[in-house]
Amino acid sequence: MAALAVNKTGPEGGRGPGGRGPAGAAVLECGVCEDVFSLQGDKVPRLLLCGHTVCHDCLTRLPLHGRAVRCPFDRQVTELVGDSGVWGLKKNFALLELLERLQNGPAGQYGTAEEGIGLSGESIIRCDEDEAHVASVYCTVCATHLCADCSQLTHSTKTLAKHRRVPLADKPHEKTMCSQHQVHAIEFVCLEEGCQASPLMCCVCKEYGKHQGHKHSVLEPEANQIRASILDMAHCIRTFTEEISDYSRKLLGIVQHIEGGEQIVEDGVGMAHTEHVPGTAENARSCVRAYFSDLHETLCRQEEMALSVVDAHVREKLIWLRQQQEDMTILLSQVSTACLHCEKTLQQDDCRVVLAKQEITRLLETLQKQQQQFTELADHVQLDASIPVTFTKDNRVHIGPKMEIRVVTLGLDGAGKTTILFKLKQDEFMQPIPTIGFNVETVEYKNLKFTIWDVGGKHKLRPLWKHYYLNTQAVVFVVDSSHRDRVSEAYSELAKLLTEKELRDALLLIFANKQDVAGALPVEEITELLSLHKLCCGRSWYIQGCDARSGTGLYEGLDWLSRQLVAAGVLDVA
């Protein structure tokens, strides 16, 4: 494998002091950085297109040429696929398998220099008696590293056999000597606040040096305490890592649930096959398509119905006009005949003229009657080719100069319902008189004709309100702003009113009347007291302050009703 250095070091070929490993070490290393390859991490070996192997870390340091890198050995180009960069390059699995076998292979009592390959960059400890052997134990008395054979050989006497020998993994740490007093080991840690010197100290530093009189503790317990805190932190980090991993898995699951994908399922006979599982995004798109498909179908039906209404109106109007044409033709013929008869009579002698008097008189009377009928017809019929069209919010079409709207006016007694009705109808103030039964008037506003039913609000008349709900398109509810104590009663009646099925689609206009009275409740407070935002949720409603005496605010309410009833842009069609 190119760019893979196998360095064999031994007694003859050991590395000098400047090498990356101790003398006698044998390593598989990257040909660029000369660091040892590892099974994972930044030193994992990756293959270039030319066949050379370079560690991942060195590949990330190579300059990019567009979306490619050049081999540091033969300058051949390797394209980087996708957005993963060097992560997308294949690992050298043959080398990884070799490294894994060398790492996990059985070791004898001692190994040769060629067998001792440092797989993770760690130096191999050689036997102090024979450097060709790999040490496996440490003598705590002799302070030497020994292989099993040399340990047995050098400690064969009764005295030396008593030496304590431990595995290398259990080798005790060597004591660190004080940098100020090299003959003394570091035994204490300074705990004095504000001390600028190194916290490590020997007994001389503690008693006579820079740390004289400072708070201190023994080195080993302090180190153990720090190790315990590190272990706690490591546990917290592991827990945090698990939480992040769990959250990442959830995110991945959510992404997959949104995007959908292929899923392996078994049929009734146990045969496995893949099927497409739609994600929530696809379901949402399907829902939108279905909604607008239904909307298109509904609009098409409404368009056909509207066109049929227009066609019927045009057909009826043309039939009437053609009938009028025929009638005018007959009338014109009769008038022409009478004129000819009169002209002929004028040319006859006196005797014949006198004899024709009665007939001429009858013809003149007939002509006068026909002329009077024609004049009345011309006065009542406007010859206009225009077809006034108005659209309601539910896309229904109305043809005619005025669109009729049925409105019911309700509220407590004394709220000013009748006063509002006659102010709109006659533009005059009417003294309050309790309504017994109902009043009905027609109010024309713009191209709308409101048929307003004013129903009495006394307690004994309220059960009769329901008889006026049929085909009602709007409800006007009048509240007396000057009587705070009756607002709760008005709320109760309004709540009952809004539960009626026949008024489910009706508009609701609330007139807060008597705003001119001193101490009257403002519109905002009435809105809160009636809980309109909660009570009228899902319904078209509006509250308008008004004064029935002067008419202030009344037409603003009618404007709102007009905008709600008629589609935008066609309110003023004439």
- Whether residue 149 is annotated as binding a ligand: the answer is no
Reported as half-sphere exposure (CB side, CA atoms, 13 A), residue 341 has a value of 16
> What CATH number is given to the structural domain containing 464?
3.40.50.300
Domains of the chain: total: 3
* Distance, CA of 226 to CA of 238 (rounded, Å): 18
pLDDT digits (tens, 9 = 90+) for 437-490: 688 899 988 878 899 999 998 988 999 999 999 889 899 999 999 999 999 999
- Whether residue 253 is annotated as binding a ligand: the answer is no
Please indicate, yes or no, whether residues 326 and 397 belong to a single structural domain of this protein: no
What pLDDT score was predicted for residue 117? 43
Instruction: Report residues of the chain scoring pLDDT below 70.
Output: 1-27, 104-123, 264-265, 270, 428-437, 567-574
Please indicate, yes or no, whether residues 367 and 508 belong to a single structural domain of this protein: no
- Whether residue 206 is annotated as binding a ligand: the answer is no
Burial (0-12, 13-18, 19+ Cβ within 10 Å), 90: exposed
- Whether residue 411 is annotated as binding a ligand: the answer is yes
Q: What single letter denotes the amino acid at residue 134?
A: V
Please indicate, yes or no, whether residues 376 and 409 belong to a single structural domain of this protein: no
Domain for residue 206, yes or no?
A: no
What pLDDT score was predicted for residue 430? 60
- Whether residue 21 is annotated as binding a ligand: the answer is no
Please indicate, yes or no, whether residues 352 and 442 belong to a single structural domain of this protein: no
Please indicate, yes or no, whether residues 412 and 546 belong to a single structural domain of this protein: yes
Domain for residue 444, yes or no?
A: yes
- Whether residue 89 is annotated as binding a ligand: the answer is no
- Whether residue 501 is annotated as binding a ligand: the answer is no
What pLDDT score was predicted for residue 14? 40
What pLDDT score was predicted for residue 8? 37
- Whether residue 466 is annotated as binding a ligand: the answer is no
Task: Residue 76: name the closest of 51, 44, 43, 45 by CA.
Answer: 51
Domain for residue 244, yes or no?
A: no
Please indicate, yes or no, whether residues 46 and 116 belong to a single structural domain of this protein: yes
- Whether residue 344 is annotated as binding a ligand: the answer is no
- Whether residue 457 is annotated as binding a ligand: the answer is yes
Domain for residue 249, yes or no?
A: no
Please indicate, yes or no, whether residues 373 and 399 belong to a single structural domain of this protein: no
Long-range contacts, stretch 273-276, CB < 8 angstroms, 24+ apart: none
Please indicate, yes or no, whether residues 523 and 555 belong to a single structural domain of this protein: yes
Domain for residue 257, yes or no?
A: no
* Domain final position from 124, 144, 159: 124
The pTM of the whole model exceeds 0.75: no
Please indicate, yes or no, whether residues 330 and 432 belong to a single structural domain of this protein: no
* Distance, CA of 386 to CA of 399 (rounded, Å): 10
Domain for residue 238, yes or no?
A: no
- Whether residue 369 is annotated as binding a ligand: the answer is no
Task: Quote the domain boundaries for residue 310.
Answer: 281-380
Angle at 545 between CA 539 and CA 551, to 5 degrees: 120
Domain for residue 103, yes or no?
A: yes
Please indicate, yes or no, whether residues 547 and 417 belong to a single structural domain of this protein: yes
Domain for residue 61, yes or no?
A: yes
- Whether residue 338 is annotated as binding a ligand: the answer is no
Query: Would the CA dihedral through 234, 239, 243, 249 be positive or negative?
Result: positive
What pLDDT score was predicted for residue 525? 94
Query: Would the CA dihedral through 516, 544, 512, 475 be positive or negative?
Result: positive
> What CATH number is given to the structural domain containing 18?
3.30.40.10
What pLDDT score was predicted for residue 125? 87
Please indicate, yes or no, whether residues 489 and 353 belong to a single structural domain of this protein: no
What pLDDT score was predicted for residue 436? 64
Task: Residue 521: name the closest of 552, 488, 551, 499 by CA.
Answer: 488
Please indicate, yes or no, whether residues 431 and 558 belong to a single structural domain of this protein: yes
What pLDDT score was predicted for residue 151? 92
Write the CB contacts of 383 (distance below 8 Å, at least 6 apart in sequence). none
* Domain final position from 380, 401, 435: 380
* Domain final position from 96, 124, 152: 124
